[in-house]
């Protein structure tokens, strides 16, 4: 086996050296690090739960015995289930911190992006509920670095309405300094804006009825200046046109400074500008239009505002859609609280690894290739290309 692969795998294993084994001594037949690494490799190759991980591991016995410390052979499915059910999700994620830092640094150097967009949004695994035992579907709030293709953190909550409490916890978990945080209307809260500014980041927050007074004030301000084509205010505008799947979308972005006498200006930490995006599109032969409004701590600069808005949509296309279509996350029947939460994190982290590999194939094709080729799987896993 190529030396570069062994080096890459050794470095990966080292990330989990500090992970405390939650199992009783009698159940520590297989090294914890080896169990975790096998689980990650199996998910890279298409596994969707402990049973599939164990089946993949059994088929890859010769390969795994060659690259990992497995003094008692290949673990059975109960071992994987026990580990994933006992590991506390926050401790499990914490072990990825150094790995993520390395991936983020490489992605920043490759893309040249100086102030990356970190989109925060939630997604439910719809079939992970257990009504008999009063367990609702898992709803995980994720930080997604849109330009890097990296999932940087996850916090689970009972349902979408709990995102308001999950987002501050997520902001404390991830280093956001020097970034632009984008959140949909659910996360448009004064405390969240203040936390973002405190951590030396900027924000672009969508507005809807949950902040009705602020929402209406922004609409009124923009409508007033629209009437005279922004003649009395320092406004900025730009437009984009995109064609995909037989549909044409045209978006007009408008940004202007917050007026000195604007309502609740002092209540929103760092608020400097407001924005509007008007989208014109044709659907089912009919012309349609929708308008969205935002507040932001960004200075006047409409291209940066437009990049932030578009970057937020990247979490839907680049993360959530792939988790459903390629990882089949919506179909998962994992119901044990820690198992499903830890597995959701494995899915997001594995997706990040697949996106970092330079091959131009789709994520689905790369994942198949991981199942077909041990060499390619190790390339993705270890961050090497041979």
Write down the domain spans for the chain: 3-97+357-382, 113-325
**Cα distance between residue 171 and residue 304, in whole Å:** 22
Residue 219: is it exposed, middle or buried by C-beta count within 10 angstroms (0-12/13-18/19+)? middle
Per-residue pLDDT of the chain (386 residues; tens, 9 = 90+): 333 333 357 888 888 888 999 999 888 999 999 999 999 999 999 999 999 999 999 999 999 999 999 999 999 999 999 999 999 999 999 999 889 999 999 999 999 998 999 999 988 876 565 566 665 667 889 999 999 999 999 998 866 567 888 999 999 999 999 999 999 999 999 999 999 999 999 999 999 878 889 999 999 999 999 999 998 899 999 999 987 666 788 999 999 999 998 988 889 999 999 999 999 987 777 888 999 999 999 999 999 999 999 999 889 999 999 999 999 888 877 778 899 899 999 999 999 999 999 999 999 999 999 999 999 999 998 776 54
In the structure encoding, which two tokens stand for residue 105, read together? 């640094």
**Cα distance between residue 17 and residue 84, in whole Å:** 17
Residue 28: is it exposed, middle or buried by C-beta count within 10 angstroms (0-12/13-18/19+)? exposed
- Rg of the chain over Cα atoms, rounded to whole angstroms, equals 23
Output the pTM of the full model.
Answer: 0.90
Spatial strand order in the sheet of 286-296: 150-157, 138-145, 117-125, 180-183, 202-207, 286-296, 273-283, 247-257, 236-244
Which residues partner with 292 through β-bridges? 277
- Report the b/e string of 117-153 with b at 16+ CB within 10 A: bbbbbbbbbeebbeeeeeeebbbbbbbbbbbbbbbbb
């Amino acid at each position: 086996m190529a030396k570069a692969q062994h080096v890459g795998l050794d470095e990966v294993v080292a990330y989990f050296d500090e992970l405390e084994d939650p199992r009783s001594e009698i159940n520590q037949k297989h090294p914890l690090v080896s169990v975790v690494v096998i689980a990650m490799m199996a998910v890279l190759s298409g596994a969707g739960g402990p049973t599939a991980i164990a089946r993949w591991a059994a088929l890859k016995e010769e390969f795994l015995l060659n690259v990992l410390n497995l003094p008692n052979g290949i673990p059975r499915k109960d071992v994987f289930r026990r580990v994933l059910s006992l590991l506390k999700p926050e401790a499990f994620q914490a072990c990825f911190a150094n790995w993520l830092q390395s991936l983020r640094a490489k992605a920043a150097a490759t893309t040249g992006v100086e102030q990356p967009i970190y989109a925060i949004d939630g997604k439910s695994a719809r079939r992970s509920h257990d009504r008999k035992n009063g367990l609702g579907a898992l709803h995980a709030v994720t930080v997604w670095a849109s330009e890097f293709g990296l999932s940087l953190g996850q916090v689970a909550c009972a349902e979408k309405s709990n995102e308001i409490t999950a987002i501050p916890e997520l902001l404390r978990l991830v280093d956001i300094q020097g970034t632009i945080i984008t959140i949909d209307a659910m996360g448009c809260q004064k405390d969240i804006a203040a936390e973002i500014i405190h951590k030396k980041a900027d924000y672009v927050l969508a507005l809807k009825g949950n902040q009705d007074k602020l929402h209406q004030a922004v609409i009124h301000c923009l409508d007033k200046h629209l009437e005279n084509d922004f003649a009395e205010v320092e406004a900025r505008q730009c437009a984009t046109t995109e064609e995909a799947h037989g549909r044409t979308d045209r978006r007009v972005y408008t940004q202007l400074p917050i007026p000195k006498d604007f309502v609740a200006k002092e209540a929103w930490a760092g608020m400097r500008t407001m924005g509007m995006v008007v989208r014109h599109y044709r659907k089912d032969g009919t012309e349609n239009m929708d308008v969205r409004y935002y507040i932001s701590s960004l200075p006047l600069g409409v291209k940066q505002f437009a990049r932030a808005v578009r970057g937020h949509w990247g979490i839907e296309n680049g993360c959530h859609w792939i988790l459903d279509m390629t990882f089949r996350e919506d179909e998962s029947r994992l119901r044990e609280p820690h198992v499903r939460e830890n597995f959701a994190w494995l899915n997001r982290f594995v997706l990040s690894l697949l996106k970092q590999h330079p091959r131009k194939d789709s994520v689905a094709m790369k994942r198949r290739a991981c199942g077909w080729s041990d060499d390619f799987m190790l390339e993705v896993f270890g961050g090497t290309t041979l």
